Each structure stands twice: as structure tokens, then as C-alpha cells.
Amino acid sequence: MKIRYYITLFVVIAFTCNAQQLPMLSNYFYKPFAYNPALAGDKDVTEVFASHRSMFSNFQGSPVLSVVSVDGKLKAKKAYAGLYVANQSKGLFNNTNAFASYAYRANFTDDVYLKLGLSIGVFDQSVNYSKLAVQNYSDPNLFISNQRRTGLDANAGFSFHAYGLTAGFSVPQLLGTQMKYNDNLNTRSYYQQTQHFLGSLQYEIPGNKEKEIYVTPYGLLRFVANAPLQYDVGINFDWKDKFWIGATYKSDYAVGINAGFTLNRRLSLGYSYDYMIGNIASYAGTSHEIMLAFKFGKLKFKAGDDTLTAQDKKLIQLQKEVEELKKNGVKSSENTGKTATGTNTNKAAAATNSKFQGKNAVKENGVYILTNKVSDFTHGNGNPMVKGYYIVVESIFYKAYAEQEMKRYMSFGFPDADYMIDKTTKFHYIYVFYTTDRLDAVSKVQDVKDAGVPDVWIEALVD
């Protein structure tokens, strides 16, 4: 009878109390989409993320959490989507959740905007009572050895962004679904999913904007009715696309440290460790978490990306010397009216004194369009060019350097990058898109600028 009393007491506590039910990652600062659907695609690229966390290693049946997600930006410039799957096992319980998320961005300015997000998905929860050690398995008050329930769930949230500040609020387990479990006498117990309320705040303080070095304090507040308030506060030192290191205080139970690094701007690896404090420190054991993330598609272009060989760097230096020699010529042609006024802002092309001279240049929706004869250009492989609109990102004199730059644009999300040659000036024009539609070309210029290329123009080749 005593054994039965303890089992019944355990079941009552497990199924009726309103506790913090949500598992939380230590690396949530890297993937905030895990707790707020509004933050899907927060890096503006498609990213696959995976994490594995084990807690309280000294306890038998201690929590183990595994997460896999993918999120990114949709073709619609203000829309984002993501998929999130998590599995947590702890003691008798095994929970799996899968969500599809959608987020929409409303811009106030380029640097101030609001995102709204919604996740809809399913959960699967099983309770394996066979893990309990009992004296009499035929006791009718025992629950059936393994019971499983599935249902629908939803999360909602928003985030506000302004000049490095991100403030968010979300409500996981929005539907508050109730699950029923029966013992051998058909007595019912309930497990209630309780709405949680999560608030987050972080601010990127620039240490060196040019090198993208930031110090980022952050905080996360978790509230559920009739349960203790939980909060995390932390700070990270982050050198974008290189490495990060930080520390977190977790309300009254742990101090966490985390570190990670990024390879080739795409692959990120991270690790976190929780040092237990408070009443559980002497017997809880350790908590660890590892994470892996990989970015796909078009990365934000960085002019300083070091992907060139020593020979390529020498060619760049020679290119700069040529530009310096030709600057005076550019100024002279501008004074004599031979170069169109208000021309393209691309510094390399402006320095070469060839881009606008004697050509018809117009500005449409803030985009410069240069109209030239298709017969004046040839493809890099020697073939004739075809009529249409070419989105150009750079003009270079040396062929070897042009080919290296073309490959560099291809590696950073412009797979169609190519180049053509102006037969008169011998300059190589690197372009990343081609289309036969003028409006489509103007639209694609903005896409290229959004990817981080500041100086873009259109070469319209006609008969």
C-alpha cells in the first residue's frame, strides 16, 4: 500500500501542478526562433540548426532535449518561415513537438520594424509507467504501462527591432490543451498544457562596426501562473562570422558559460556548460549543450571577405594602382562634359573613367540604367552577348581578377554571376542577374543591395 501511495502521489503531482513545462536551450541567444515564431529568419538567410542538451546528470531519468529547426526569409521581402522539431525525455515522460511558423515584417524605417509570428503544429506525449519499480503489477490502481496522447498546439509572438535593440514577447502552448490518462480502473488523470509568457530583450553594442564586433547583453523572462518566475540575464562578446563567448545567470540555479565559432561564414559550432548553484548544486551533477548550425543560400556580401590567393591579392593591388593613375583622367572628362552627370556610385568603375562616357544613362526608382549596343560587348568566353538587362556589381580591368571576383560572388549566394567585356575600354563587367524585363531588373537591383552589395547598376544591351 505504501508503494501505491507514493506512485499515486507522483502521478498527481506530475499531472496537476502548473509548473514551467517548456524546455529551454542554453544557446537560445543564437536561435531565438526556438521560443518566439516572430524571430524566424532573424539572420536573413536560410539556416539549419541542431542542438542537444542534457541536464542534471546525477539524476536518473534526467531531462534530455534535442532540437532541429530550419528557418529563413521567403521570396516575399517581408515574409519569413520556419520548421521546428523538439524531443524531450525526462523520467516517465517523452514529449515531441513539431511546428510550422510564419512571420511577417512591418517596416517603419529600414532600421526600425515590427515582426509578427505564428506557429501551428502537433505534439506527441507518452508516459511509460513500466519504468516505475512496484511490488504488485496487478494492482488495479496502477496506470497502464504505456500511454500516448497527441494533439494540436500553437505559439504566437512579436518582436520589435530598432538600431540593434530587439524586444520580444511570445505565448507558447497557446491552446492550453488538456490530455487524459486512465488507470486500470478507468480512473482519469489529466495533464494540462499551460500557457507560458516569455519576454526577451537584447541590445547589440558596437565595439567595432567595420569588423562587426559587438558586446550584447540580453535577458529572458518566463512566467506561468502558479509557478515561480524564472529569468536569465547574460552577456556575449560576438565577432560576427568568427566566434562568440559569453556567460549567463539563470535564476537561482545555475551560471552558464558558452562559446562557439564559425567557419567560412556558414558552419557554426557552439558549446555551453551550466555550473549549478543554490540548493541543488551538491547533488544535481552537470548540464551540457552542443549546437551545430549551417547557413544556405545567399549570404550578405562583405567586401572584405578574404577568399583570394596571394596571386589574387597581388592583382587587386595592381588594380588599385591602375585606378589611382586614371583618377585624374576621370576628373578631366567630367570637367569637359564627356561623362554623364549624376552617374553610378560604384567606386571601382568611377575610377576607371569608362562606365558612363558617351553612354545613355538614366535613373529609374533610384537605379542607374545604362543603355548600350549589344554589339559593343562580348561574353567572357568570347561569345556574343544577347539583348537584355544585366545587373552589374563591379567593373574590373584585369581578366584574372575579374574571374576571381566572379567566383567570389558565386560563393556568396549569386550562382549566376558572370562577366562581359566592353570591347572599347577592355573593362570586365561582373553581373549577377540577367533578365529581359526592365521592371524585373530594377526589382532585382534592390535584392542585390539587400544582400549587402552597395553599388549596383543595370547595363541595358540593345540593338
Q: Which DSSP symbol is given to 294? A: E
Check residue 441 and give its pLDDT. 92
> Of all helices (H) and strands (E), which one includes residue 378?
strand 377-379
Of 158 and 279, the structure prediction assigns the larger pLDDT to 158
Q: Give yes or no for residue 160 having a pLDDT over 90.
A: yes
Contacts of 344 (CB under 8 A, 6+ apart): 350, 355, 356, 361, 368, 370, 455, 457
Could you identify the residue written with the cell 516517465?
A: 92
Q: Give yes or no for residue 60 having a pLDDT over 50.
A: yes
Per-residue model confidence as pLDDT tens digits over 137-156: 565 555 556 778 888 999 99
Q: Average model confidence (pLDDT) for the chain? A: 80
Check residue 305 and give its pLDDT. 54
> Domains of the chain by range and CATH?
2-296 (2.40.160.40), 310-462 (3.30.70.1070)
From the list 247, 165, 154, 167, the residue with the least C-alpha distance to 199 is 167
Average pLDDT over residues 94-121: 93
CA angle 54, 56, 59 (to 5 degrees): 115
Per-residue model confidence as pLDDT tens digits over 447-462: 888 888 888 999 999 9
- Stated pTM of the model: 0.68
Query: For the chain, how far is it from start to end, CA to CA, in angstroms?
Result: 96
Of 448 and 187, the structure prediction assigns the larger pLDDT to 448
Check residue 374 and give its pLDDT. 93
Q: Give yes or no for residue 379 having a pLDDT over 90.
A: yes
Average pLDDT over residues 184-206: 81
Check residue 343 and give its pLDDT. 36
Q: Is there a contact between 39 and 168 (Cβ–Cβ < 8 Å)?
A: yes
Check residue 334 and give its pLDDT. 38
Q: Considering Cα of 346, then 352, then 353, then 355, what sign does the dihedral take?
A: negative
- Give the pLDDT band of residue 186 (cuts 50, 70, 90): low
Average pLDDT over residues 171-176: 90
